[in-house]
A and B are shown apart, each in its own frame.
Chain A
Amino acid sequence: MPGKLKVKIVAGRHLPVMDRASDLTDAFVEVKFGNTTFKTDVYPKSLNPQWNSEWFKFEVDDEDLQDEPLQITVLDHDTYSANDAIGKVYIDIDPLLYSEAATVISGWFPIYDTIHGIRGEINVVVKVDLFNDLNRFRQSSCGVKFFCTTSIPKCYRAVVIHGFVEELVVNEDPEYQWIDRIRTPRASNEARQRLISLMSGELQRKIGLKVLEMRGNAVVGYLQCFDLEGESGLVVRAIGTVCTLDKISNTAFLPACNSPSKEMKEIPFNEDPNPNTHSSGPSTPLKNQTYSFSPSKSYSRQSSSSDTDLSLTPKTGMGSGSAGKEGGPFKALLRQQTQTALEQREFPFFTLTAFPPGFLVHVGGVVSARSVKLLDRIHNPDEPETRDAWWAEIRQEIKSHAKALGCHAVVGYSESTSICEEVCILSASGTAAVLNPRFLQDGTMEGCLEQRLSWQPGFFSIGSEKGEVDFFPQNQDSSSLLGLEETSPPGCGFCHIPYDELNMPFPAHLIYCYNCRKQKVPDVLFTTIDLPAEAMVIGKGCLIQARLCRLKKKAQAEANATSISNLLPFMEYEVHTQLMNKLKLKGMNALFGLRIQITVGENMLMGLASATGVYLTALPTPGGIQIAGKTPNDGAYEQHVSHMQKKINDTIAKNKELYEINPPEIPEEIIGSPFPEPRQRSRLLRSQSESSDEVMELDLSHGKKDAFVLEIDDTDAMEDVHSLLTDVPPPPGFYSCNTEIMPGINNWTSDIQMFTSVRVSRLSNINLTNQTLNKNFNDLCENLLKSLYFKLRSMIPCCLCHVNFTVALPEDEVIQVTVTAVAITFDKHQALQTSRVPVEKTLQRASTDNEEQLQFPLELCSDPLVSQPFSPAKEVLENASSHTGVPAAQRAASLDKASPLAEGHLRHRSVPSCTNSTVSVVKMTPLSFIPGAKITKYLGIINMFFIRETTSLREEGGVSGFLHAFIAEVFAMVRAHVAALGGNAVVSYIMKQCVFMENPNKNQAQCLINVSGDAVIVVRESELEMVPVQPSTAVSQPASAGDVTT
């Protein structure tokens, strides 16, 4: 009996009228946890009842504490008939179970009903008294911290990054049970909500147990998903990265604490001698099961790895091995070390997308695997072997792909599913990488501790100008400490190829790194991770999307699965071609945060890839795109081709200007490439997806002048070229990316707006062909983006960050696109000042790195701006552009043109805050930070699942009105929970699922939404300066590091 849960019901307000006669309500509350229920007294005839109940006490196992949600039901007392339910509140008490998070949950919660939505609010106080439990064989894992954030949380330091953890639980879906035919929709929805809440609690507890087994104390990058498999059941699965985290005493004043402060270490669970001797690896009994490849009864066909390989890797265009001088042996050594650190791990995967500096050594490229499965009823929910085996297969494939790239680890790893009827596509993707082994082991920690501490400032203050400036010197320091400076300078090291040049797994162009000239780099780099903080970039980034539809015959079971499997490799190939073309069109050479989603519907497959394109200084300047006509003798045709060519060239030039991509012209001889002179062009022919011979032949050439040839040999290809040019750039003052931060912008203001936008489009009355589908889908996405730009125009200058598109095909000929992102206003003038920093750095670096070849123009090294960093923006502009070759006048003009608008809006926004609101503001963002603020405390994970249903769709304003209200309600409930935990923001917020179904004929609709994020307390930076060191005092005391008083 290791825990006591105490609940007090204080009051209600704005209750709905339940008694038509009196226009009032006789409300009382039922408080339920597990199988115990308490009731308050009836508070008669009031819409604002004051119950002020006693403390209801539940004495429960901590296992139950983790699994069960607290369930609060508000009812209307009725003397003669059954009491009517007003609504419910589910409270996840998990944040109260670990000492560092919240200590009390107290506040107003919206009372939610699955049919009526929010109906008033209730004030509740919840506390937990945990007793120490010395039972080693316990089933609970209280105390393990969970973070959705896919980087090391801001006020923690990673002592060890242990590795991958996964788990899944399955159950029957209440919606599909026989009882559902006789119960009300409300009862069915509530059963479902409760079950999923219970399952995710159980899942989290089980993951926690694995974490303890691996001797970690936290899961970072925790991603939990639901698969609504319909008849065959409900799967809740989660993956994450196990870490041992240390709380940093004071994030705001980090540079001060340079000492290795070992006393701050608090890994409570490492102290317990673990009875399980599997300390080295994450092997658990369950894991072993995943290996036992049980031949599933269901039919399953995996899209063969060779297909995926082909369609994936040639496009990613990774360079090959290290022919470098000293790089070879070092790399081998490194590989060995990493191997020992990783080889005990079944899956050396990391769900993180941003890393402590020095962690990421090399990046190989994107690896992904998909498999098509037929769903079958899960007969025994306690042994979800089939699902486990499916995922194990996929992960194995990913692992082997990574190996082929000479990498031992996969970072930025994620998994997803798409289900249509009984067919399910399982997908996994990540970025193959070589990691620094020191972070992965307990033993070697002491030496590394210091560097990591000194590394933190740059890492933490992403978004503040100061951080950016501070970063580089520190960067150099610590890299030299790590002994890596020779082979991998921090700015470009991760770009260097990890694989062997002579044994390239695929054809690619390689070239010496433009930054250090010592190692080979590929000409293009695709990754699923965030842009590393130390990466050197020129100009700004932009959101790049590839969109694709493929028709598919309607089919049943196996035939269906087969046809999908056959289509998949072609889709992946097309998606990559599109991405590559669009990247070239933008004049950029690397993609970050790549996420390819393949969605299956009844009669079509949709592919949507989103990524953020950037120009990495280490990689060569991308060549243009050349169009080659098929019939060169036809005059008119040729004219047309040259017209297209001109358009493309213009677009590239325009984009380069728009994104400020002005790489310094480096004389050819500096490159010092031992390669022969580059040939004029390389060719890539469409339609040669598989026959690799020819590609090899044609791909021999390389070099930075290479152009990308598009051969328009049929109308299909013509369409593609057209679609390339239809993507409209965002209006002036707008930027967009799907990564955490936008390269080239680092002076965010605190003005943020997180939003979700949903569009459902019916493809009625159109001739369904691949072309029209593509066009429609493309238009849908482009229009959606345009709409966002228009709506957020008052925030200009602004960047849409973490733009996350999700596509669903809920029924025949219906496409649903959901976008969640955050718009952040930035300070334009400061932006201009800092935007030169990377360029300048590059120049400096380039010059220092090439000291032996002093042909480099001298004036570039002694940048006059260094001495006067706060010169007016315009001047900076002129100076900067004098280097980069864009006419200064032109730039300044574009600046002047946009500014009055922005100022006007600024004035608008600065309305003095007013009076008597009692509702505290909760900010939400999909990013891991709040611009202009410091996270002082993580309060726990928010993971909520809601169902809303209506039988009066028209009366609620149709589908748009219904969903609009519901999403607003979901936001409200998330905010209320965070506020009750004492927080004022949600970071790493994500809407993982938004399943919408309608039946207009019956006037019905239903929607399921699953959201998650990390509840935090943030303090504005300006306030921090005024109230110094306040939160640190409690933590810096070594023993009682658990409890922070904020």
Chain B
Amino acid sequence: MTNDLDIFVGNTTLIDEEVYQLWLDGYSVSDAVSLRLRSGILEQTGATVDVLQSDTMDHYRTFHMLERLLHTPSKLIHQLHFQIPPSRQAMLIERYYAFDEAFVREVLGKKLSKGTKKDLDDVSSKTGITLKSCRRQFDNFKRVFKVVEEMRGSLVENIQQHFLLSDRLARDYAAIVFFANSRFETGKKKLQFLTFEDFAYCAEQMIQNWTLGAVDSNVDDMDVDLDKEFLQELKELKVLIADKDLLDLHKSLVCTSLRGKISVYNEMEANFKNLSRALVNMASKLIHTKDVRDFFIDLVEKFIEPCKSDKWTLNDVRLFLTQYTTSAHTLDAFRHQALWDRYMSTIKSCLLKMYHD
């Protein structure tokens, strides 16, 4: 005897968080059943495999029906079809939009295009995350991107408003959108030691300081695109390395104030000009899209790696960058103080965040 039809519908939609997670993780019904079996649920409840199978099917069907609504969370809140307590709705949305660290590191900064989606099976086999789950996460990224891409106002707030995510998750999505828009390279081998959190922090700093929104809060795409004018102006900083006197003066100011405070004084003194050149050159090139993409590689190759090879501590880096930034203010011949601060404060935050093993 086979059950052709087997359903359970509650007036309040029944949601099992455990099964929801299995569904989100992209397991098929039979895989989910065997995973649940392994959790020892039968022993706890005295149920049979049939019961578990039917229960899992039921939940999967419910989630399948809810998925359409989860694509536009505001619909889930206002729909009449499923009666779900608000706290559960929030849970459903939050979990649906949650993503795996391993997955996001693969996709971060890539164009959210069909081509990328086609490569998801590689991502899946590399990360061990099911293809189904990869697709959901990718589609979430893309959906959020599409909605907020051309929108006015704060990126985080827009995401929060449209997708009803928690503050934390909305910030993460803001980073993903920002990275996808500027297509920052994050996948190179040299960058593998960086976590998504590192990038998210950097993104937040860049959004706060380097986008149009940082100067004018009422323009389209204000948080998504970098401020072109600012990038143009960054060329002016070149004077710091082009003018030999200025460079020497800058170096001596930094060296004087750091003597005795920094543990790698000699290395710092020897490397000062290289480091300064690297930072200023990066600034002057940011107007080119390609150099924007390589921003993180440049930071790692030209600053972090040399420092690491000289065994700078995090504190050394902090002292150096602080002094390097402030000393420039005392250079009389240098007239781009505001620009310098806008550039260096973000660079400093990013570097300090990224400076770890």
Binding site for B on A (CB under 8 A): 13-14, 108, 110, 118, 121, 731, 753-764, 766, 776, 779-780, 783, 786-791, 793, 814, 816, 901, 911-919, 921-924, 957, 959-961, 963-965, 967-969, 971-972, 975-976, 996
Contacts and interface: CB of A to CB of B under 8 A. Distances in A.
Interface in B68-85: 75, 77-83, 85
Given A760-B4, A957-B61, A972-B82, A967 B87 contact: no
A816 B3 CA distance: 10
9 contacts: A14-B78, A121-B80, A776-B1, A913-B86, A921-B83, A961-B61, A964-B58, A968-B65, A975-B80
A960 B8 contact: no
Nearest to A917: B86
Given A14-B75, A783-B51, A790-B51, A760 B82 contact: no
B4 A791 contact: no
B270 interface: no
B47 interface: yes
B45 interface: yes
Given A761-B3, A960-B61, A756 B9 contact: yes
Interface of B: 1-14, 44-48, 50-52, 54-55, 57-58, 61-62, 64-65, 75, 77-83, 85-91
Given A753-B11, A756-B8, A922-B83, 11 more contacts: A118-B80, A118-B81, A121-B79, A754-B10, A760-B3, A914-B89, A921-B85, A959-B5, A961-B64, A971-B83, A975-B80
A761 B55 contact: no
B45 A960 contact: no
A968 B81 CA distance: 6
A895 to B, nearest CB: 18
Given A912-B87, A914-B86, A960-B61, A761 B7 contact: no
Given A756-B9, A783-B50, A960-B57, A790 B1 contact: no
A914 B83 contact: no
A756 B11 CA distance: 8
A762 B1 contact: yes
Contacts of B6: 758-760, 960
B86 A963 contact: no
B90 A915 contact: yes
Given A14-B78, A783-B50, A764 B2 contact: yes
Given A916-B77, A969-B81, A786 B9 contact: no
A764 B85 CA distance: 41
Nearest to A965: B65
Nearest to B13: A968
The 7 tightest CB contacts between A and B, nearest first, are: A760-B5, A911-B87, A755-B10, A914-B86, A967-B9, A754-B11, A964-B7
Contacts of B77: 916-919
B11 A924 contact: yes
B5 A758 contact: yes
A753 B8 contact: no
Contacts of A780: 1
Contacts of B87: 911-914
A960 B5 contact: yes
Nearest to A759: B6
Contact of B1 (A753, A761, A787, A922): A761
A783 B46 CA distance: 13
Contacts of A788: 8
B75 to A, nearest CB: 6
A547 to B, nearest CB: 14
A855 to B, nearest CB: 45
A862 to B, nearest CB: 42
B139 to A, nearest CB: 18
Contacts of B14: 753, 755, 791
A118 B75 CA distance: 13
Given A790-B45, A968-B65, A762 B4 contact: yes
Nearest to B64: A957
Contacts of A757: 7-9
A971 B78 contact: no
A968 B45 contact: no
Contact of A753 (B10, B58, B81, B88): B10
Contact of B47 (A121, A758, A790): A790
Contacts of B88: 911
B211 to A, nearest CB: 29
A760 B2 CA distance: 9
A617 to B, nearest CB: 32
A778 B7 CA distance: 18
A922 B12 CA distance: 9
The interface centre, meaning the residue of A13, A901, A964 with most chain B CB atoms within 10 A of its CB, is A964
B53 to A, nearest CB: 10
B61 A759 contact: no
A754 B83 CA distance: 12
A810 to B, nearest CB: 10
Nearest to A108: B80
A761 B10 contact: no
A411 B44 CA distance: 44
Contacts of A756: 8-9
Nearest to A989: B11
Nearest to A118: B81
Contacts of A783: 48, 50-51
A787 B86 contact: no
B285 to A, nearest CB: 41
Contact of A919 (B61, B62, B64, B79): B79
A913 B3 contact: no
A760 B7 CA distance: 9
Nearest to A107: B80
Contact of A972 (B55, B64, B81): B81
Nearest to A754: B11
Contacts of A816: 5
Contacts of B82: 968, 972
The interface centre, meaning the residue of B75, B81, B83, B86 with most chain A CB atoms within 10 A of its CB, is B81
Given A757-B9, A758-B5, A761-B4, A918 B78 contact: yes
B81 A913 contact: no
A975 B12 CA distance: 11
A787 B5 CA distance: 14
The interface centre, meaning the residue of B3, B6, B57, B79 with most chain A CB atoms within 10 A of its CB, is B6
A596 B14 CA distance: 31
Contacts of B7: 757-759, 960, 963-964, 967
B23 to A, nearest CB: 14
A163 B150 CA distance: 70
A753 B85 CA distance: 12
Given A957-B61, A957-B64, A110 B81 contact: yes
A814 B2 CA distance: 10
A960 B9 CA distance: 11
Contacts of B10: 753-755
Contact of A964 (B2, B9, B83, B91): B9
Contact of A968 (B4, B9, B55, B89): B9
Contacts of A924: 11
Contacts of A975: 11, 80, 83
A758 B54 CA distance: 12
Contacts of B2: 761-762, 764
Contacts of B55: 787, 790-791
Contact of B46 (A118, A731, A754): A731
A901 B46 CA distance: 14
The interface centre, meaning the residue of A757, A776, A780 with most chain B CB atoms within 10 A of its CB, is A757
The interface centre, meaning the residue of B51, B57, B62 with most chain A CB atoms within 10 A of its CB, is B51
A976 B90 CA distance: 22
A13 B79 CA distance: 9
A925 B199 CA distance: 52
Contacts of B9: 755-757, 964, 967-968, 971
A814 B4 contact: yes
Contacts of A755: 8-11, 14
